[in-house]
Amino acid sequence: MTTLDVARPVTGGVDTHLDIHVAAALDPIGGLLAVAQFATDGEGHEALLAWLEGFGPVSLVGVEGTGSYGAGLARFLRSASLRVVELDRPNRQARHRRGKSDTEDAIEAARAALSGRAQGAGKTRDGNVEAIRALLVAKRSARDSKIKALNQIRHLGFTRPELLRVRLAVGITPFDRSEANA
Protein backbone atom coordinates (compact mmCIF):
# COMPACT_ATOMS: atom_id res chain seq x y z
CA MET A 1 0.00 0.00 0.00
CA THR A 2 1.33 3.40 -0.98
CA THR A 3 0.95 6.38 1.28
CA LEU A 4 0.98 9.79 -0.27
CA ASP A 5 2.31 12.69 1.74
CA VAL A 6 0.10 15.46 0.41
CA ALA A 7 -0.41 18.66 2.33
CA ARG A 8 -4.06 19.53 2.67
CA PRO A 9 -5.12 23.12 2.05
CA VAL A 10 -5.93 25.28 5.05
CA THR A 11 -8.65 27.92 5.29
CA GLY A 12 -8.15 30.81 7.66
CA GLY A 13 -10.62 33.12 9.33
CA VAL A 14 -9.81 36.36 11.15
CA ASP A 15 -11.85 38.43 13.59
CA THR A 16 -10.20 41.85 13.41
CA HIS A 17 -9.84 44.44 16.16
CA LEU A 18 -7.84 47.59 16.82
CA ASP A 19 -5.04 45.95 18.84
CA ILE A 20 -5.29 42.23 18.06
CA HIS A 21 -6.51 39.90 15.36
CA VAL A 22 -7.91 36.51 16.38
CA ALA A 23 -7.29 33.86 13.71
CA ALA A 24 -8.65 30.36 13.23
CA ALA A 25 -7.35 27.63 10.93
CA LEU A 26 -9.60 24.93 9.45
CA ASP A 27 -8.81 21.77 7.54
CA PRO A 28 -10.53 21.12 4.15
CA ILE A 29 -13.60 19.53 5.76
CA GLY A 30 -14.10 22.29 8.34
CA GLY A 31 -12.31 20.73 11.28
CA LEU A 32 -10.75 23.24 13.65
CA LEU A 33 -6.97 23.03 13.69
CA ALA A 34 -6.21 25.90 16.08
CA VAL A 35 -7.00 29.46 17.14
CA ALA A 36 -4.44 32.14 18.01
CA GLN A 37 -4.09 35.90 18.55
CA PHE A 38 -1.72 38.22 16.69
CA ALA A 39 -0.72 41.87 16.86
CA THR A 40 -2.16 44.21 14.25
CA ASP A 41 1.22 45.46 13.01
CA GLY A 42 3.45 44.17 10.22
CA GLU A 43 5.18 41.65 12.45
CA GLY A 44 1.81 40.34 13.60
CA HIS A 45 0.65 39.96 10.00
CA GLU A 46 3.79 37.98 9.15
CA ALA A 47 3.36 35.82 12.26
CA LEU A 48 -0.30 35.15 11.39
CA LEU A 49 0.59 34.06 7.86
CA ALA A 50 3.47 31.87 9.08
CA TRP A 51 1.14 30.31 11.66
CA LEU A 52 -1.49 29.50 9.02
CA GLU A 53 1.15 28.12 6.64
CA GLY A 54 2.40 25.88 9.45
CA PHE A 55 -0.74 23.77 8.97
CA GLY A 56 -0.31 23.47 5.20
CA PRO A 57 -0.79 25.55 2.06
CA VAL A 58 -3.28 28.34 2.66
CA SER A 59 -6.08 28.31 0.08
CA LEU A 60 -8.31 31.09 1.35
CA VAL A 61 -8.65 33.57 4.23
CA GLY A 62 -11.92 35.11 5.38
CA VAL A 63 -11.31 38.50 6.98
CA GLU A 64 -13.88 40.51 8.90
CA GLY A 65 -13.70 44.26 8.27
CA THR A 66 -11.40 44.57 5.26
CA GLY A 67 -12.46 48.21 5.01
CA SER A 68 -11.53 49.09 8.59
CA TYR A 69 -9.53 47.15 11.21
CA GLY A 70 -8.72 44.38 8.76
CA ALA A 71 -7.57 46.62 5.89
CA GLY A 72 -3.86 46.26 6.61
CA LEU A 73 -4.07 42.51 7.10
CA ALA A 74 -6.11 42.03 3.92
CA ARG A 75 -3.59 44.09 1.94
CA PHE A 76 -0.72 42.04 3.41
CA LEU A 77 -2.38 38.70 2.64
CA ARG A 78 -3.17 39.77 -0.95
CA SER A 79 0.46 40.81 -1.42
CA ALA A 80 1.37 37.24 -0.41
CA SER A 81 -0.83 36.03 -3.32
CA LEU A 82 -3.58 34.68 -1.10
CA ARG A 83 -7.28 34.88 -1.87
CA VAL A 84 -9.00 37.11 0.70
CA VAL A 85 -12.78 37.30 1.07
CA GLU A 86 -14.80 39.89 2.96
CA LEU A 87 -17.25 38.55 5.52
CA ASP A 88 -20.76 39.81 5.99
CA ARG A 89 -21.86 40.79 9.46
CA PRO A 90 -22.54 37.74 11.61
CA ASN A 91 -26.14 36.75 12.22
CA ARG A 92 -27.01 38.88 15.26
CA GLN A 93 -29.67 36.50 16.59
CA ALA A 94 -27.40 33.48 16.51
CA ARG A 95 -24.53 35.53 17.93
CA HIS A 96 -26.72 36.83 20.75
CA ARG A 97 -27.75 33.28 21.72
CA ARG A 98 -24.18 32.00 22.02
CA GLY A 99 -22.59 35.24 23.28
CA LYS A 100 -19.76 37.42 22.01
CA SER A 101 -16.53 35.52 21.56
CA ASP A 102 -13.60 36.54 19.41
CA THR A 103 -12.61 32.89 19.12
CA GLU A 104 -16.07 31.91 17.89
CA ASP A 105 -16.10 34.87 15.48
CA ALA A 106 -12.74 33.80 13.98
CA ILE A 107 -13.93 30.20 13.59
CA GLU A 108 -17.18 31.40 12.00
CA ALA A 109 -15.16 33.61 9.62
CA ALA A 110 -13.12 30.62 8.48
CA ARG A 111 -16.23 28.45 8.10
CA ALA A 112 -18.03 31.16 6.09
CA ALA A 113 -15.04 31.40 3.74
CA LEU A 114 -14.69 27.62 3.41
CA SER A 115 -18.40 27.03 2.76
CA GLY A 116 -18.67 29.79 0.17
CA ARG A 117 -21.12 31.90 2.21
CA ALA A 118 -18.49 34.64 2.15
CA GLN A 119 -17.57 35.31 -1.46
CA GLY A 120 -17.10 39.06 -1.62
CA ALA A 121 -13.66 40.22 -2.58
CA GLY A 122 -12.04 42.08 0.28
CA LYS A 123 -11.75 45.83 -0.10
CA THR A 124 -8.35 46.81 -1.44
CA ARG A 125 -8.17 50.38 -0.09
CA ASP A 126 -5.74 51.35 -2.84
CA GLY A 127 -5.76 52.57 -6.42
CA ASN A 128 -8.02 55.17 -8.02
CA VAL A 129 -11.06 54.42 -5.89
CA GLU A 130 -9.10 54.97 -2.68
CA ALA A 131 -7.59 58.21 -4.06
CA ILE A 132 -11.07 59.55 -4.87
CA ARG A 133 -12.34 58.47 -1.44
CA ALA A 134 -9.48 60.36 0.25
CA LEU A 135 -10.25 63.49 -1.76
CA LEU A 136 -13.95 63.28 -0.91
CA VAL A 137 -13.15 62.86 2.79
CA ALA A 138 -10.89 65.94 2.70
CA LYS A 139 -13.50 67.97 0.78
CA ARG A 140 -16.29 66.99 3.17
CA SER A 141 -14.12 67.85 6.17
CA ALA A 142 -13.20 71.26 4.71
CA ARG A 143 -16.83 72.02 3.94
CA ASP A 144 -17.93 71.04 7.43
CA SER A 145 -15.16 73.16 8.99
CA LYS A 146 -16.15 76.17 6.88
CA ILE A 147 -19.79 75.87 7.94
CA LYS A 148 -18.81 75.56 11.60
CA ALA A 149 -16.54 78.63 11.40
CA LEU A 150 -19.21 80.74 9.68
CA ASN A 151 -21.80 79.70 12.25
CA GLN A 152 -19.43 80.57 15.10
CA ILE A 153 -18.76 84.03 13.63
CA ARG A 154 -22.48 84.60 13.13
CA HIS A 155 -23.30 83.54 16.67
CA LEU A 156 -20.54 85.69 18.12
CA GLY A 157 -22.18 88.59 16.34
CA PHE A 158 -25.32 88.14 18.43
CA THR A 159 -23.45 89.23 21.56
CA ARG A 160 -21.17 91.91 20.11
CA PRO A 161 -21.27 95.46 21.53
CA GLU A 162 -23.86 97.82 20.03
CA LEU A 163 -21.22 100.14 18.47
CA LEU A 164 -19.66 97.20 16.65
CA ARG A 165 -23.10 95.94 15.58
CA VAL A 166 -23.91 99.34 13.97
CA ARG A 167 -20.55 99.48 12.16
CA LEU A 168 -20.98 96.00 10.77
CA ALA A 169 -24.58 96.67 9.77
CA VAL A 170 -23.53 99.56 7.50
CA GLY A 171 -20.53 97.69 6.10
CA ILE A 172 -17.80 99.43 8.12
CA THR A 173 -15.29 96.93 9.35
CA PRO A 174 -14.08 97.32 12.94
CA PHE A 175 -10.56 97.95 11.66
CA ASP A 176 -11.47 100.75 9.23
CA ARG A 177 -10.23 103.61 11.45
CA SER A 178 -10.90 106.40 8.94
CA GLU A 179 -14.66 105.69 8.95
CA ALA A 180 -14.74 105.04 12.67
CA ASN A 181 -13.15 108.41 13.54
CA ALA A 182 -15.50 110.42 11.28
The whole-number average pLDDT for the span 46-55 is 95
User: 163's torsion region: left (phi>0), alpha (psi -120 to 50) or beta?
Assistant: alpha
Long-range contacts of 99-105 (CB under 8 A, 24+ apart): 102/15, 102/17, 102/22, 102/37, 103/22, 103/24, 103/35, 105/15, 105/22, 105/64
Residue 19 has a pLDDT of 92
pLDDT for 1 equals 53
Question: pLDDT tens for residues 83-140?
Answer: 999 887 666 666 666 667 888 889 988 898 888 776 666 555 667 777 787 888 889 9
CA-to-CA separations, 146 to 13, 34, 136, 155, in angstroms, rounded: 43, 52, 15, 14
Whole-structure pTM value? 0.65
Residue ranges per domain, the chain? 10-124, 128-180
**Among the ranges 43-47, 79-83, 95-99, 166-170, which has the highest mean pLDDT value?**
43-47
Classify domain 10-124 at the CATH superfamily level: YqgF/RNase H-like domain (3.30.420.140)
